[in-house]
Each structure stands twice: as structure tokens, then as C-alpha cells.
Amino acid sequence: MNPIRCAIVDDEPPALALLESYVRKTPFLHLEGKYSSAVQAMNELPGKKVDLLFLDIQMPELNGLEYSKMVDPHTRIVFTTAFERYAIDGYRVNALDYLLKPVSYADFLQAALKARQWFDRTERTVTPDAQSDGEMKYIFVKCDYKLLQIEVKKILYIEGLKDYVKIFLENEPKPILSLTALKAMEELLPAERFLRVHRSFIVQKDRIRVVERNRIVFDKTYIPVGDSYKAAFQAFLSDRS
């Protein structure tokens, strides 16, 4: 079981020290960094791989709710605050949990265990199956508490929906819904066969048949090509022309 890499952001030194002590006494957590402001975290955190962020809400200059929208979408967030009224806002930005100050170790551990369960479940969601010739033939995805084998060549496109993906397959009327991040799917699938064309879509290159007005057409579905992906998409089209 890999440790969860975490960081703490809190402008109150006693709260920062308390959370640090909690992290260090929890065996499955590893502290990657601690920051006394969201601005400091914004400048220093991007260079580190962090799975879990303990983030204070009430901070000067840039508050936790604002900063949470800038964090890597694969980093889970546990908010800490002295104000109970922020709980609903916390869940609106997809927080994993919410801790009310002063934070007891029992409450902290419960939130950490929730994170452990989330990461364990996510790590088991997608598994590749490469054949002896080195080409990936199948992937296994977790769906409804079971693993499904999917033939890679039958994947048309994949749509990301927060923590879930929809996998659309050839000759299948309904997509497969799986608890995993679109980024995890992008990293899993072979780049020579799949292309990210939008923050919410990955397509299999060989399945692209129709492009209309900068949109990829699959039957009645129109997939937009995002601005930041247009150059790579145009390069792909040029190679195929």
C-alpha cells in the first residue's frame, strides 16, 4: 500500500503545527510540504506530486475555496475551517471531507481513512493487459464493484465527468461508467493510438472518420476540439492527409 502524499495549507501557525503532527503520526500519510498561505502553496506546490491537500478556507489574499479551483484536479482536498457555514461551499468544489476547527485527531484520522479508501478504490479501477508482442490489447476497468475487460481497439472515445469516465465502445448502445479520472485513462492508454482533444474527451485516432467545423463526429455525437488541443489535432490530421 503506497503512502498518500499530502500537503497542508494554513495561515495559523498553531493549526499548521497541529495538522503536521497528525500527518506524521498517521502511518499511511507522507508529508510533502506545509505552507502558511495559499499564495505560497500556489508558487511552490506545483513542482511536487501531492495526492491529498489539507486546506484552510479562511486565509488572506487568496482563500482556500478560491485556491482549490487552481489545484490539480487529481489532488483530493480536505477543507479545514472554524466556520461551519462553509461546509456546503466545500462540497461544491468537490472536497473529499470537511474538518471543523479545532480539529481532533479522531476527526482527522477519519478524513484520512476516507482518503485512503478513495485512493485504494481508484488505484484498483483501471488495469492494463499487454500482450507478448508489447501491444496493449485489453484494459480492465472497475464498474459496479467488478472488473470488466475492454478490448482497446473497440474504444471509440472516452468522456470525463469529474471523478468518473464514460467509455464509449463500438456496437455498444450504452457507455461503460467507471470510477477513475480522465487523466488516469490518458496516462494508461497508448499515446500512439489515443489523442486528448478536449479537457473532457479522449478519442481513438483510428476511429476518427468525420471532422466537421472543428468537431469530431461519432454518429450523432459531436466532440469539440478544445483550443489548447487544436495544434496537436491539426498535426494529427496533417500526418493522415
Whether the bond between 102 and the residue before it is cis, its omega within 30 degrees of 0, is yes
Structure confidence at residue 145 (pLDDT): 64
Q: Strand 76-81 and strand 210-212: pairing?
A: unpaired
Non-local CB neighbours of 68 within 8 Å, separated by 6+ positions: 53, 55, 77, 79, 93, 95
Q: Is 43 exposed, middle or buried (0-12, 13-18, 19+ CB in 10 A)?
A: exposed
Contact in structure between 216 and 223 (CB atoms under 8 Å):
yes
Residues 115 and 121: their CA atoms lie apart, in Å, by 10
For residue 59, CA distances in Å to 16, 55, 80, 135 come to: 13, 10, 11, 50
- pLDDT, averaged in runs of 10, over the chain (241 residues): 88 95 94 94 86 91 86 86 62 72 92 84 59 68 76 94 89 89 84 92 94 91 93 87 65
Structure confidence at residue 32 (pLDDT): 93
Query: Largest Cα–Cα distance in the chain?
Result: 63
Structure confidence at residue 54 (pLDDT): 96
Structure confidence at residue 90 (pLDDT): 46
Residues 176 and 169: their CA atoms lie apart, in Å, by 8
Number of Cβ atoms within 10 Å of the Cβ of 188: 16
For residue 202, CA distances in Å to 108, 142, 170 come to: 37, 19, 15
Structure confidence at residue 142 (pLDDT): 75
Q: Backbone phi, then psi, for 27, in 5-degree steps?
A: -60, -30
Structure confidence at residue 132 (pLDDT): 46
Place of cell 508482442: 133
